[in-house]
Structures are given as structure tokens and as C-alpha cells.
Structure 1
Amino acid sequence: MLPRRWLRTDPDRPRRISFGADYNPEQWPREVWDEDVRLMREAGVDVVSVGIFSWARIQPAPGEWDFAWLDEVIDLLHANGIGVDLATATASPPAWLTTAHPEVLPRTREGHVLSPGGRQHWRPTSPVFREHALALVEALAARYGSHPGVVAWHVSNELGCHNAYDYSDDAARAFRTWLEARYGTVAGLNHAWGTAFWAQQYGSFDEILPPRLAATFPNPTQQLDFARFSSDALKAHLVAEREVLRRLSPDVPVTTNFMVMGGTRAMDYADWAHEVDFVSNDHYVTAGRDELAFSAAFTSGIARHRPWFLMEHSTSAVNWQPINRPKRQNELVRDSLTHVAHGADAVCFFQWRQSRAGAEKYHSAMVPHAGSDSRLFREVVRLGGLLRDLDPVAGSDRERGQVAVLFDAESRWAGELDSHPTDRLDYHREALDWWRALTDLGIRADVVPADADLDAYPVVIAPVLHVVPSALRDRLEAYVRGGGSLVATYFSGIVDENDHIWLGGYPGALREMLGIRAEEFRPLADDETEPLSLGVSGDLWSEPIDLVADDVEVLATYTSGDLAGGPAVTRRGVGSGSASYVSTRLGAEGLRALLPELLAPAGVSSELPDSLIGSVELVARRAGDDVFWFLLNRTDDEIALAGVEGEFLVGGGALEPRGVAVLRR
């Protein structure tokens, strides 16, 4: 079970949906701080993250400390009823540290040392960095651990955003220790890594290096283990800071901001979630509104559907995309309330006041360069009022959906390695396509890690579940035999936890349950498609499938070329449930045509009126007997909410373009 603590607040104060931002007062003259606090109160802000990039200000030189400014900031915020999520400030080491100890700087796989001048210029496995970082954490915890204004501890910032993979000698030593703990003996490692291939056998752990740039493809299991190790190394730093905080400040909950969003793949956040008192996430829109909702749903899955903290998102444009466009009308509110729908009990932005200087000066904030007399700040104030209307939702769990989409970090890491049947596979895109197609059909869908409890779901979809250890295979078979409907896709069940092929034909570990067998993969060229009898076409992948069990039902066939007439989509009854297989990539449009057939045996259908299906996303939260429906307009059109019953907390009889309504039912 995950820990369940929340922001430390007055026990007599009712739970609320918190509202705020990263606050960086060190960027501004003292006279600005009073205006900041006044505007925060106007907007309804009750929590801010402070000190995230303040190491150089707090410790300007070895052995020198300057807490006076931070004392004043925390006291000022507390006096105005604004809680402080106090960062440990270890995200960006000061120049004096990297000058005195350049050995803390990361190395790339090519052997280049990364210079300071940006941020996160430190090795997760550096003993020198760890010593200095923990000394800073200890000083902060000793000074502020009992301050009534500190409502949470914020470990570092976006761990791994820029330093997830380090190939230094420190990393090599830590990697060897990690491998010895995993395998016990070099013989065990040689077996797991298949080192008989290409004469890669090791005689001792001391001979092993990270998968640095090599003459050709590095050992694939070495690469997979290095991905596991790198996630664990960052987690170990999180735990080291957390332990100092818990020792000196046990009453204050500890969190760190994850980055569950499309392009982030190096950290196994489902594993990290067990190490924090509540899950926090940063999210920035990179691939449209549906990706935002998908990531919010996965954050809820990582948090096991308990409330979580949206630590950062943007009020409008960011600064780091090729073209940075502002948000359109209602998008600030819709983005924020989409996260609340999926379980966020705090909505915060980067940042409070838009910077005048530095790399993020063009990144939007709650108070823009134009000041408080601006469209953007008025929208911020409006959002603060809407969040107050949603205070009855605070503390409620996100209600489980009708379908679970599995999202497995190890399958993503291993499935996208080099020297595979195609280098075009995009694990995240496949999972998002399934989630989007379900949402298009008005189905409430969860996104959950592979170790989640699946029994509550009538249907579980496992897109490209490439890595299937025997224990996971057994869990999936038990789920199906117990009455569940499992849907697996191409390139699933192929390898075990060591990236070794399950022999006997594909889809490997899932072959017997599915009752099918393929001897080869048939990946498709970029301009190649395979028409199916459903009236849609697949791309990226196809397989010549043989039916090896008499009770396999063919739901769709290929209709052209060498595979014409062959099975493309199959289903087999197993025990009280069923196991289906989709052998090609159909995209969201093709999956919309297929899903009704896959969902029907489980009795899954939309809870929305027909007029809203496709245009509106439905998400639910539950507190006791109260169920809160969030209706999120996915379109640019106004939508009448005919046939929807309940007490409106936000909105009314129609959804504005990109609007939101919330009902208590």
C-alpha cells in the first residue's frame, strides 16, 4: 500500500482543493513580495513551492549560510494564510561546488563531461554531491522542520529531467553494486545478459561498464538493466533526502514532483510512488488535450486512485517548444480541471510571477509580464473561484474506470531498444491510441501500472506488453480465468525479465492463453498498410498468425497481399473470461471500429447520453455516497448537456467550447 498523507494544515480547517505555484521571491526586490502576497490572496492561492533553485542563495560559499531572506519569505506567507511546500534546493548545485568538485558533473555515453550553466548538472551516484546535498537538506530541515507555515517538503525538483543517464566512473561503480545485488554472481549475470553471444562473458563484476558508446549495438539486457539501475539511482537519492527530512521533521509530509507526460520515459514512477507521502506531478501539454488527460489518468493510476498534487503546469505558453503558442479561451481552466477530475487535490503552476531574466522568461506564469491588469491574471482569479466551488470534491478518490489500460515502464524500455524488427515502435503512442479510442466511445478508462489490482476491471488492455515475466503471465491468466477480458497487442509477451525470448513461437508467454502462434513478425514500411475486414487498415506491424486452439474466434482478417484471409484479430474464451489479440497497429480511428466488439462480452458501454459520446470526456470521483461527474468538452463547440442529471457545482445546462461542468450525483 502507498502512504496516505497530505499537506500539513490546521486540523480544524476543512479540506480544500489547493491552489498555487512555484514562487521564486529571490528573483525579485523585497518590495515586490508584499504585492505578490496581496495578489495571491486575491486569486485564492493557499500553497506555494519555495526554494527550488535557491542553493546558491542559501549557501553562497562552503560553510556560509544565509537564511534571513528565506525566514522572512516563509513568515510573510504564513502570516497571510499561504502554506509553503519547501524545496530542499538540491536540484541545481552552486558554482562553488562544481568548481571545487568537478567530479560531480555527469558524463554522456560518448564520454563528454556536461558543464554547469544550466541545471541538474550532477551525478545521481556521486558520493561528493550526495554529501553536500544532504548537508543542505539537514540545515533546512533543522531550521524549518517545525515551522507552522511549512506544509510539505519538496525533494529536489523533477529528478532525472536532465541527468537521468550518467555514464561516469561513479555510475559504473554503483551499477556494479546494483548488478551484484540483483544477480548475486557473475555466472548469474552472464546467463541473464546472454553473454555467450559475441564473446561478452565477464569474469568479475569489476569488468562491467555502463552501456557507453560502442562499436555496434550494446548488449540489450545490459541496456535494460542500466535503465532499471538509472531509475533506481535517482530513487535512491530521493530516499536519502527523504530520510533526513523524516528524521528531523517527521510531522511534515514528503513529496517530489514526477513528470508523467508523453516524452518522459527514464523514471519508473509507479515504483517511486511507494517512497513519497503523496504523489505529485508536473505536466506540460506536448501532444494535445487527450495526452494531457491520458497522463492525468496515469498519474491517478500511479497514486492508486488517491488524491495527488499537480505541482506544475502552465497558465499559457511555455518557452521550450519549437513554437510556443498561448492557450486559447477556457483552456487554462479546462486543463486544470481535467487534472482535478483525475484526482488532483492541488492545482499549481510554474510559476507565480513571470521572470524578467533567465532561460524561462518567456514561460507563462500566474502574473504575466503585463501584470495583474491582464486577461491572464483575470483567468487565474476565475480558476481560483471555481476551485473553491469544488471544495466538496477535496479528499475524494478517483472512481475506477470501466477499462484499464496497462502502462509498463520495462516494456517501454525494452520494446524500444535497437536491433528490433522495427525502430518505428512508439510504446506511448500505442497506449494513448487505445485510451483515446475508449474516450471517443464515451468509456471511462484508467491507465495503470502492470502491478495494479486488475480484478476490479471487466476489461484490461495491454498494449505492447513486451516484457512478461512468468509471475505476470500467471496473474494475467488468473485474471482471465476469473472472468476478465484481456486484450493484448502485437509485440506482447515476447521476452522475460532478462529480455530473453519466450521460445516456441510468438506471442511467447501469452501464446497458450491466446491459442495462437506466429513464427515471424512482419513489420510494415512507412508507406505500407494492411487492410482488414473491419473496413480499416493497420500500419507499422503485421503477423502471419496460425490458430493452434480449436476454440479461437477470428474477429477480423487481413484482406490483401500475402496475409489475405489470415487472422488479424482473435478472441478465445478461457475459463470464465476471454483473451483477445490485435496483431497490427490500428490507431485511434481503427480501434474505435474494433472496440465495441471487444467490449461487448464484458458488458461495457458508455454511461453518457448518446449526444455527448465522442465530444465529452467523463471522469468520476467518489466520496462516500457522493459521486462527482466531471464533463470535459473535448471540442471547440458549445454542447448542450441534455439528459445529464445532478447538482451542478461548476457549469450548467451547456458546456462552453473547451468548457467543463461538474455535477454531484
Structure 2
Amino acid sequence: MKIRSIVVILLLCLGVTNIQASERNPRAFFNKKDLTLTGVYYYPEHWEESQWERDLKQISDLGFDFVHFAEFAWAQLEPSEGVYDFAWLDRAVAIAAKNNLKVIMCTSTATPPAWLVRKHPDVLITHENGTKMDHGARQHPSPSNNFYREYSLKMIDKLAGHYGKDKRIIGWQLDNEPRPVYDYGNDAQQRFRDWLNKRYQTIGALNKAWGTAFWSQVYSDFSEINIPKVSQMFMNTHQILDFNRFATEEMSSFLDSQVLAIRKNSNPEQWITTNYIPEYSDGHLRKSDELDFHSYTRYMVFGENFGVGRKGYRLGHVERISKANDFFRPIDGVYGVMELQPGQVNWGKINPQPLPGAVRLWLWHVFAGGSDFVCTYRYRQPIYGTELYHYGIVGPDGKTPTPGGLEYSQFTKDIKALRKEYDAKAKNPETYEKRRTAILYNHENTWEMEKNRQTTEWNTESHVDKYYYALKNFGAPVDFIDERENFAKYNVMIAPAYEMLDKDLVSRWTKYVEAGGNLVLTSRTGHKTRNGQLWEAPFGEPIYNLIGAKIDFYDLLLPHTPDNVSFGGNKYQWTSWGEILIPDSSTETWAIYEGDFYEGSPAIVYRKLGKGSVTYVGVDSKEGKMEKAVLEKLYGILNIPILNLPEGLHIEYRDGFGIAVNYADKTLQLPVSGRAKFIIGNKSIDTAGVSVWKE
């Protein structure tokens, strides 16, 4: 047992309940023997109270473990200022408990009541052009409005005071799909100035960080600084970078203040999370440190041309769930999925039906990543409001299960059967764990590169995905990590396009490699300081000693004139970014450019350093096949066994179980040993099929 867990137990025995996130053990909130729990959103305030008993009983009969209440119910919880009504919610909680359903309680900060907005219109987000959002939607208030922050906490304090000691409540969800808010209101403006003052201390330090000597932008006082007009051409990019940081920290601190308000009123057994949308450039995903753990929302079919084959959009992209799993799980070691699509949705450009079996496939894919719970939005398809055509577990009649509802019910039965096979001593295969790889990611790099792309051919997330998709094709478990992690845990670490860094990070990378780690760096890495400025040195110089090469210059090609990189006897097209390298004498050249005035110059280099190695990939290919080939060669050198999975097949292991899901448009055969004992499915896996086994 970890020391932190022992400390938590002792504090609980002493009656200490205001335990901070750093002292809490997220793993303790869930019983490993349960494997995962399944839940559903239910909005009692949307339906006649006479129907609650029927609905909650059917939720239980379908196999769900918990329900999710009060996400958007502020108007019902506080119908007028300072007047609270929890009686209706008490009745709903009681009916849920009667039907053996636990409850996730929510704060309603995404939807303030009309009386609050009309009395205090400044709580509404002000756009860059000066117009305000208005009541009648959701996520229209600003976390940068001082009154809104303070008043929200009053409501949360009352809610937590009422339900914080209620053992029927297993946890809390904050807000709804929170993300940075870009508010131009008066409070936001002053808070931004205060944030800058705290960050830089002196106006001179800010001027240096922002390079305000350029174009006569020099400030003499923090009061002269405005929130940047992002739409204004040529606006100071360093100022925009700081505004992104500020907006991220505003939402993070708003969430953290909610956590503290709940925690001072609640049992320590009640966990606290929120449901992020996996937009990987949203920095608050890893900055809301008071949360017990992080959860996400994921929709797979909404009319985009994702997936394998002509109708692949009915299943979605094979790694869309996987990437979210691998991004959120490493933050706290625990994660859940708060919204997983139950069927057809209403908010895409085109909203097709998912393929039969798709919902069950997605549920197992979430499970494969190690989740502790999965929840769906929503139980009943609405009959009024903005989401009329959004499927639920049952249709608009409130009784008839939808195809997705039946697939959720089947999943709950499958999990109950799987629990009987659970072995606490079971381990994942050694070959699987040997493939485990870290991807070092910092959202600020994405902000900076997307603002300074230099070419329409560059896409930061697509660049990262070329490495991620290759790893999943290998059957590798992947952890997205940030700089707070212990690098030594990983045999291989990839830092794609890590543009902004400092010399301390380069030193950490060097020590990691010298101690036996294997580091892969890619194009655009090390070009800038943490302030987004170029080094006053040769281009990218801080990484030269690490990679064993210099960067002579970089090139960008027009879309209609791609060139090739020659690597391993194959040619790979590129257009978006290519760095021409000058390797040291002891550094190997793995790939060279073809087709232009620098033909024959190195594009990819490799060197051994201490007990480890550094691979530098100075070029971004068009299709990602080159990136996969580079990793294949590296893993071969390191004697790391890899798979070569067919397109659309995904395999993971957790708790000693192997889980495979098939997004391909044909039946596939699983590359498993004859020792495999199949619990669900078999070695032959059909489209939208699932197989689960033990070895």
C-alpha cells in the first residue's frame, strides 16, 4: 500500500474530511473487482414526477449502476435569489436508491437561472466585438466575472451542504464540458492585467517577454494592456500566448474553487471530477489539480468521414476513443467517460445512424483503456429543447429501448460475467508492457505552432497522431504525459514537435537518455523559448548536443510539388516541414532528402548517448508511413516485440484481460496464442465485433 493511501486512511479514522487532492488516492474510490461501472444521465426536472418511478426502475432493470442528476438544474435548485429547493431532487435520489442506483450529483454552473442573468448581465461572456451572449443557451456565463465566481460558490456550498454527507451520492461532476472561455468583459480585462502583474512582477519583464520593442508596442504600466484582439491581423503572438494561458487558468481555478467548496462539506468517499471534451490543446485538461481524477466526453458518429471503408463513418475512427483513454488515464491513474454516444445525435452537420453493434464496440473500447466507469448521455430522448433528435437509451415515449440502449444493457451483462473471471493477481503480458511508450505533450506548443504554422500544410495534432497511430498499430500501450512525470518509467519516450522548451528540460532529456532511455524528437523541437521567442543563437541550438547534429535551415514545400525522403530503401513524400541537418561524425544518418537543391542532406539522424539513444526526425511526412517505419527500426534495435495490426483492429490488455475491437469493414483474425481462453467472442472478429480473452 502506498504511503499516501495509509495517510488518507489514518486521516479518515481521525474524522478529517477536508483532504486535498494531493493527499487523496483516486484508486481508493473504485473496487477493482467491479472492473467498471455503467451509468446514464437522467433529468427528473424534464419529466412528470409520476414517471420517475417507472424510468428509474427501468434504468436499474437494464443493468445500470448509477444515474447522473442536476447538471443543468440551477433554475430548479434556486428558483429565486437565495431561495433553495432540494425537495424535488431529494425525491429523485430516494427513488434511485430504492432501485439500487447510486447518484452522481452535478453543479449547474454552465446554466445560471434567468433571474441571475437579468439582474447581473455582466456575468455573460462578452465577445471580442463587444456583443454579449444571452440567456437561452448553455455555457454563456464567464468564469472571469467576479460576481459569477462568488455567487456560483454560494449555490455549490448549499448543494454540497445538503448532499455532501449522503452515502447515496458516490461522486460529483463539475460544470459541463468546461473549456477555456475567451471573455472580453471588464472583470476579465482587469483579471488579465492582474494575472500578468503576478506573472512578470515588473512591466519591464513583460516587455522583454513579449518583445514589445517590435512595432513600438512598449508598455509603461500594466493598466495599458488590453486583452488581445485575436482576429486583428499581426497581433502580438506572445501576448496571445499569455492570453491563452490566462484563459486556461481561469477555467482551471474556477473548477478548483468548486472542488474546495464541495470538499469542505462532503464525505471523503465522494469523488469529484468533470467531463472534458478531448480537445488536446485545451491546457486546463492537466491543470485542474484539485480534481480527484479527470473524465472525458466522446462522440464517435456525427457525419464526419472517419473510419475504414466507404461507410466507416458509422463506426468512427479506430483510435478516437483510444487516444482519449491514453491521454486521460495517465493524469491520475484513474479516469471515467462521462458521456459516450448512445446512438444517433443531432448536432453534427449530418447525423447518420451508427452501425448496429457500434455502441457496444465503443463501450468495450473505453473499457480496454482501463476506465473505472462509463456513462451515457442520456436516458430519455428529449421531446423539447435543442436536442430533439438526440437518441437516448429509450425513445421519446420514455419506454422503448433504442438499439443503443439494448447494446448498453448487453454490455452491463457482459461485465457482470467478466467479473467472475477477475483475478487480482493477473498481469498483462510481458511483451505488451515492454512496448509501453510515453508521448510527452504540452498544449502550449500546439497553441504556438498553430498560431505560427508557416505553411497551410502543417497541422500539429496530425503530426502527433502519425506517431500515435504507428504505436497503436504496434499494439503498444501509450501514456500521454507532461513534464511533471518521471521520464525514467519509460523505455521509449517520443516528444513530437516540442517547439518551446528551456535548457532545464534539455538537461532532463539528456539525463534520461544517458541512464538508458530512448528519446525520439521530431521537427520543430527546440526552436523557441517558453515565451515563444527564437533563441539568440543558431537555429534550435539548445538541442544540438543532445541530438548530435545541427539544424542548417528548414524548408516548406507547396502542396502541388511534394518531394521525397529516402529511408530504408523506400521513398516518402513530404511538404509541410523539413529540417536540413548537419550530423556530427558519431551520429548516424538514417534518411536523406531527394528532389531539391539540398538533395542528399540528412533528414533523420540517430545517435547513442550513454546507455540510451536519441532519434531526431527532422521531417514531417504526408501520410505517416515514414514515421511508422522509423519507429519500427528503433524498436527493432531495442528488441521490443511489435505487432503489425490490420487497419481497423485495436488490441489492449487490462487486469489480465485481452480486449480486441474491430472497426474494419471485414472480418479479421486475432494474433493471439493458442493459450487464449475466450470469454466473449473468439479469434475471428467481425466488423463492430468484440473479443475478450485471458491467456
TM-score computed with the length of structure 2 as normaliser: 0.88
Shift of 1:330: 2.1
Partner of 1:550: 585
Is 1:80 the equivalent of 2:108? no
Whole-angstrom distance in 2 between the partners of 1:408 and 1:127: 29
- Structure 1: 5+ residue stretches without partners: none
Which stretch of the first structure deviates more once superposed, 71-80 or 355-364? 355-364
What is the DSSP-based 3-state SS (H/G/I as helix, E as strand, rest coil) of the residue aligned with 1:148? coil
**Pairing partner for 1:386 from 410, 414, 436:** 414
Q: Match for residue 668 of structure 2?
A: 639
> For residue 555 of structure 1, what is the amino acid of its counterpart?
W
Verify: 1:658 aligned to 2:693, yes or no: no
Q: Aligned pairs, how many?
A: 649
Q: In 1, are the aligned partners of 2:563 and 2:575 still within 8 Å (CA)?
A: no
One-letter amino acid matched to 2:110? A
Give the distance between the partners of 2:496 and 2:507, measured in 1 at CA: 18
Question: Aligned AA for 1:357?
Answer: Y
Correspondence 1:299 to 2:328:
yes
Instruction: Give the Cα–Cα distance (whole angstroms) in 2 for the partners of residues 439 and 317 of structure 1.
Output: 28
Return the alpha-carbon distance in structure 1 between the equivalents of residues 626 and 175 of structure 2: 43
Give the secondary-structure state (helix, strand or coil) at the position aligned to 2:82. Answer: coil
CA deviations on 1:319-372 (whole Å, 9 max, x unpaired) are: 221111221122111211111111211011111111111111212222233642
Q: Which amino acid aligns with 1:45?
A: F
Change (3 A) 1:662 1:509: farther
1:547 is aligned with what amino acid? I
| Aligned-CA RMSD value | 2.5
1:544 to partner: Cα distance: 5.0
Whole-Å separation in 1 of the counterparts to 2:480 and 2:510: 20
Question: Which amino acid counterpart does residue 566 of structure 1 have in structure 2?
Answer: S
Say which SS state the counterpart of residue 464 (structure 1) adopts.
coil
Q: 1:196 to 1:343 in 2, by over 3 A?
A: same
* Aligned residue in 2 for 1:369: 396
Q: 2:238 aligns with which of 198, 203, 221?
A: 221
The answer as to 2:390 corresponding to 1:355 is no
Indicate yes or no: 2:209 matched with 1:173.
Answer: no
Structure 1 position 256, deviation (Å): 3.0
Structure 2 CA distance for aligned equivalents of residues 558 and 40 of structure 1: 60
Q: Please tell me whether residue 477 in structure 1 is matched to residue 494 in structure 2.
A: no
1:403 aligns with: 437
Q: 1:284 aligns with which of 299, 311, 321?
A: 299
TM-score (norm: length of structure 1): 0.92
Match of 1:266 in 2: 282
Match of 1:466 in 2: 499
Decide whether aligned partners of structure 1 residues 110 and 347 sit closer, same or farther in structure 2, where only a CA change above 3 A counts. Answer: same
Q: Aligned match of 1:251 in 260, 268, 274? A: 268
**1:483-498 equivalent positions in 2, closer than 5 A:** 483-498=516-531
Structure 1: how far apart are the matches of 2:123 and 2:328? 32
| Residues 275, 118 of structure 1: alpha-carbon distance in 2 compared, 3 angstrom cutoff | same
The percent of aligned pairs where both chains have the same amino acid is 27
Unaligned runs of 5+ in 2: 1-21, 307-316
Report which stretch shifted further, 336-345 or 629-638.
629-638
Aligned to 1:449: 482
Tell me the CA shift for residue 83 of structure 1. 0.8
Name the counterpart of 2:350: 323
Change (3 A) 1:103 1:460: same
Distance in 2 between the 1:6 and 1:578 partners? Answer: 35
Counterpart CA distance in 2 for 1:110 and 1:563 is 47
Per-residue CA deviations over 1:564-584 (Å, capped at 9, x if unaligned) read 111111112222211112222
Match of 1:568 in 2: 603
Answer yes or no: is 1:5 the counterpart of 2:40: no
Structure 1 residues 455 and 402: alpha-carbon distance in aligned structure 2, compared to 1, 3 A threshold:
same
User: Could you list the per-position Cα deviations for residues 251-283 of structure 1 after superposition, in whole angstroms to 9, with x for gaps in the alignment?
Assistant: 24342324242x4533331222x3211221112
2:413 & 2:553 partners in 1: Cα distance? 58
| Alignment CA distance shift 1:24-1:458 (3 Å) | same
Post-superposition Cα deviations, 1:597-634, rounded to whole Å, max 9, x if no partner, equal: 1322222222x5x7x55553222224xxxx22222224
Per the alignment, in what secondary structure is the counterpart of residue 326 of structure 2? helix
Are 1:559 and 2:594 matched, yes or no?
yes
Distance 1:457 1:592 in 2: 19
- How many angstroms apart in 1 are the aligned matches of 2:162 and 2:93? 12
Equivalent in the alignment of 2:177? 158
1:537 is aligned with what amino acid? Y
State how far apart, in whole Å, the 1-side matches of 2:63 and 2:679 are: 18
Counterpart among 307, 316, 340 of residue 313 in structure 1: 340
Separation of aligned partners in 1, 2:322 and 2:594 = 35
Q: What are the superposed Cα offsets for residues 285-325 of structure 1, whole Å, 9 maximum, x if unpaired?
A: 2652222211221111223xx23111111012222211112
The answer to whether residue 367 in structure 2 is matched with residue 340 in structure 1 is yes
Q: Deviations over 1:524-570 (max 9, x none)?
A: 22333221213232334343524241112111111212231111111
Distance 2:565 2:600 in 1: 9
Distance 2:498 2:552 in 1: 18
Larger CA deviation: 385-394 vs 515-524? 385-394
CA contact (8 A) 1:6 1:277 kept: no
What's 1:416 paired with?
450
Contact 1:389/1:650, CA 8 A, preserved across alignment: no
Q: Which residue of 2 aligns with 1:431?
A: 464
